Structure 1
């Protein structure tokens, strides 16, 4: 494969990953575990494919002079990777808030002892 084809495939992969990550937000809000687990499996496959493409692209370019078309594709790849990082950061923040909410409900339903339990163990000890 030549560098423009590899770069084009990597760019398309990153665009699809960013769109998929953006569509994940409602599933995070509704705590849809099956959808989240499916997305995790898909994302791992995307990461592996991106690693392979990145290695191939690096080997193809091999620190030689870069034509302007490749430079433009590489700039587009960097922009798309930045967009994906931004969407992932938003989803991570939402997931963290969701986890805090779930932990709060779990604590309200089954609180831990405040001092010692009846066996004399410190609170939260098994």
Structure 2
């Protein structure tokens, strides 16, 4: 009977990175589909709802290059982990938001975290 070997870090890297890079676009799609419910629950105007989506996209696209440079400087693993933490905090805050402004700020934070995840998860060695 052979003893099973523990899974190496390298073997776990690809699934973790793929999961992170897959979840981000799915979350954006889910938010877009939930806009009518968000409008109803938070009594939000169309202009306020526009910032729920735009804040995420603007933050993610603005921070992407900086996050890539920080990943080169401090390490991609650290950048990925930091981005995942920011994204999770922003998403959890957005899920519990009872005000449109808090929702916008939380989605913007999630966009910053998403940019760090994408930059930390990209190959380029």
**TM-score class, shorter:** 0.3 to 0.5
TM-score, normalised relative to structure 2: 0.34
Structure with bigger RCO (C-alpha 8 Å, 6+ apart): 1
Find the structure with the greater CA-based Rg.
1
Structure number having the greater helix percentage: 2
